[in-house]
Amino acid sequence: MIVSASVPGIRAAVAPLRERGPVGFVPTMGALHEGHLSLVRIARKEARSVVVSIFVNPLQFAPAEDLATYPRTLDADLDLLRAEGVDAVFTPRAETFYPPDFSTTVAVAGVSEGEEGAVRPGHFAGVATVVAKLFLAVGPDVAVFGRKDLQQAAVISRMVRDLDFPVRLVIAPISREEDGLARSSRNIRLSAEERRRAAAFPKALFEAAGRIGKGEPAESVAARVREGLEREGFGVDYAELVEPATMKKVSEKVPGAVLAAAVRLGNIRLLDNVSIEGER
């Protein structure tokens, strides 16, 4: 497995892989878990070679957010990727990936503006910018993202379409723990008591999505979800029924609609979403 921290280095590593066939790519911020590894396995099915990036992207963190405390476990991550047979890993350093006079931003209007975009202004400009740079560095044929970050998937899909990136996107199902909690690198920072309580979050979403799927009014169900989670001690940033390609809020059951939510438990934000047509 080749590991490179430079753009020229990863391009040199990928060039012979491309001669063998399609290249799959999984961008990550490290602190890898089974959810990430499931994306790697999907990429292996979709392509001949697999490249993974590990980069905690400073552009997508606001000053008050957890950039400094975001878990970093590079050596353990590399061991996991070797075991999965990954061909190359790109580990750029922020100071070289974003030189001091870096001044270009990729902004995706509309789809980035509600939900996470409203709670975290500037977040998706940071996401779109880093993914564009990663695509240009690696040059993948296929890129795999998880559905847990629903709005991120929508933003990247729109960017790929609008800017004609020659990359096919695969959006993978959410990987969950046994109690239903969506896997996330931030979960390890929950205290034992917080981790126990966290299971109430997906449970509430699945129950609410089922009620909406049976025809109950979406807005009243979502309001009850917010109230119930607040009673359980969660801080609720949003819980809304949305159309996932556009992230526009919808007020009634429509095909493909998803109940998306973000909550805070202690200092940790948890994201999740459930289709009203059942888990996909």
Residues tagged active-site: 36
The continuous run of DSSP H or E covering 239 comes out as strand 235-243
Q: Return the bridge partners of 145, or none.
A: 171
Ordered strands of the 49-54 beta sheet: 2-4, 88-90, 49-54, 23-28, 142-146, 168-172
Report yes or no: 104 and 129 within 8 Å, Cβ to Cβ.
Answer: yes
Q: Are strands 268-275 and 258-265 parallel, antiparallel or unpaired?
A: antiparallel
- For residue 107, the one-letter residue type is A
DSSP characters for 46-114?
Answer: H-SEEEEEE---GGGS-TTSSTTTS---HHHHHHHHHHTT--EEE---HHHHS-TT-------TTTTSS
List all residues 6 or more positions away from 82 whose beta carbon is below 8 Å from its beta carbon: 1
Residue 214 structure tokens: 């049976």
Q: Count Cβ atoms within 10 A of the Cβ of residue 249 and give its class: 0-12 exposed, 13-18 middle, 19 or more buried.
A: middle
Three-state DSSP at 261 gives strand
List all residues 6 or more positions away from 28 whose beta carbon is below 8 Å from its beta carbon: 36, 39, 52, 53, 54, 55, 77
Separation of alpha carbons 181 and 190, rounded Å: 12
